[in-house]
A and B are shown apart, each in its own frame.
Chain A
Amino acid sequence: MGFYPIAHGCKARAMKSFDWTRNEVLVFGVILAFCALAAASDPNFLSIPTLTDLMRNSIVLGIFAVGAMVVLVSGGIDVSFTAVAAFAMYATTVLLRDVAPEMGWPVAFLVAIAIGAALGAFNGVFIALFGLPTLIVTLGTLSLFRGALLTFIGTAQISNLPSGMRDFSRWMMLRGTDADGNFYSLHWAFVFLVVVVIFTWFILNRTMLGRAIYAIGGAPESARRIGIDVKKTQMFIYVYVGALAGLAGIMHGSLARISNPQDLVGLELSVIAAVVLGGARLTGGIGTLTGTLLGVALIVLVRNSLIVIGVPSVWQSVVIGALILLGTGLPAYQSLRAQRRAA
Chain B
Amino acid sequence: MTDSTAPLVTLEGVTKRYAAITALDSVDMTIRAGEAVCLAGENGSGKSTLIKVLVGVEQPSDGRILFDGVAQSRITPTDATRAGVQVIFQDFSLFPNLSVWENIAVTAERATGTKLVHRARARERAREVLARVGVTLDLDARVETLSVAHKQLVAICRALASDARLIIMDEPTTALTEREVARLLDLIRRLKADGVAVLFVSHKLAEVLEVCEHVVVLRNGAKVADGPAEDFDSASLTRAMTGRDVAETPPGALDPSAPELLVVDGLTKDGAFRDVSLTLRAGEVLGVAGLLGSGRTSLAKALFGLAKPDRGTVKLDGHDIPLGDPIAASGQGIGYVPEDRLTEGLFLEQSIARNIAVGRFDEHASGGVLNLRALWDEAGDWLKRLSVKAPDPQAPVRSLSGGNQQRVVLARWMARQPRVLILNGPSVGVDVGSKAEIHGIIADLAARGLGVIVISDDLPELLGTCHRILVMKAGVITDEVQGGGGVTEDDLSHRLAS
In the docked arrangement, what's the CA distance between A210 and B110, Å? 13
Q: How far is the CB of A212 from chain B (nearest CB, A)?
A: 9
Binding site for B on A (CB under 8 A): 1-6, 9, 12-13, 16, 205-211, 214-215, 217-219, 221-223, 225-228, 284-286, 343
Which chain B residues numbered 102 to 145 have a C-beta less than 8 Å away from chain A? 102, 106-107, 109-110, 114-117, 133-138, 140-141, 145
Contact residues of B: prevailing secondary structure: loop
Which of A3, A9, A286 has the largest count of B CB atoms less than 10 A from its CB? A3
Given A206-B117, A214-B95, A228-B110, 13 further pairs, Cβ under 8 A: A1-B134, A2-B135, A3-B187, A4-B135, A4-B150, A4-B153, A4-B183, A6-B138, A9-B141, A208-B110, A211-B102, A226-B107, A285-B98
Find out whether the CB atom of A3 lies under 8 angstroms from the CB atom of B134: yes
Contact residues of A: prevailing secondary structure: helix
In the docked arrangement, what's the CA distance between A335 and B122, Å? 30
Find out whether the CB atom of B298 lies under 8 angstroms from the CB atom of A211: no
**Nearest B-chain residue to A218, judged by Cβ:** B97
Q: Which residues of B have CB within 8 Å of A3?
A: 133-135, 183, 186-187
Q: Which residues of A have CB within 8 Å of B94?
A: 219, 222
In the docked arrangement, what's the CA distance between A207 and B110, Å? 11
In the docked arrangement, what's the CA distance between A157 and B150, Å? 60
Binding site for A on B (CB under 8 A): 77-78, 89, 91, 93-98, 102, 106-107, 109-110, 114-117, 133-138, 140-141, 145, 149-150, 153, 183, 186-187, 298, 307
Q: How far is the CB of B163 from chain A (nearest CB, A)?
A: 15
Known A3-B187, A208-B115, A209-B115; contact A285-B89, beta-carbon cutoff 8 A: no
**Nearest A-chain residue to B136, judged by Cβ:** A2
Q: How far is the CB of B88 from chain A (nearest CB, A)?
A: 11
In the docked arrangement, what's the CA distance between A9 and B130, Å? 15
Known A3-B135, A4-B153, A343-B298; contact A205-B93, beta-carbon cutoff 8 A: no
Q: Which residues of A have CB within 8 Å of B77?
A: 227
Q: How far is the CB of B142 from chain A (nearest CB, A)?
A: 9
Q: How far is the CB of A306 from chain B (nearest CB, A)?
A: 34
In the docked arrangement, what's the CA distance between A241 and B329, Å? 53
In the complex, which of the residues B89, B117, B134, B145 contacts A211, with contact meaning CB atoms closer than 8 Å? B117
In the docked arrangement, what's the CA distance between A305 and B107, Å? 49
Q: How far is the CB of A280 from chain B (nearest CB, A)?
A: 11
Find out whether the CB atom of B135 lies under 8 angstroms from the CB atom of A222: no
Q: Which residues of A have CB within 8 Å of B183?
A: 3-4
**Nearest A-chain residue to B130, judged by Cβ:** A2
Known A3-B135, A6-B137, A206-B117; contact A215-B95, beta-carbon cutoff 8 A: yes
Q: Which residues of A have CB within 8 Å of B140?
A: 13, 16
A-B contact pairs, 11 of them (CB 8 A): A3-B135, A4-B136, A205-B117, A206-B116, A208-B114, A214-B98, A218-B96, A218-B98, A219-B97, A285-B95, A286-B97
In the docked arrangement, what's the CA distance between A3 and B179, Å? 12
Q: Which residues of B have CB within 8 Å of A207?
A: 115-117
In the docked arrangement, what's the CA distance between A154 and B265, Å? 79
In the docked arrangement, what's the CA distance between A226 and B80, Å? 12
**Nearest B-chain residue to A286, judged by Cβ:** B97
Q: How far is the CB of A300 from chain B (nearest CB, A)?
A: 28
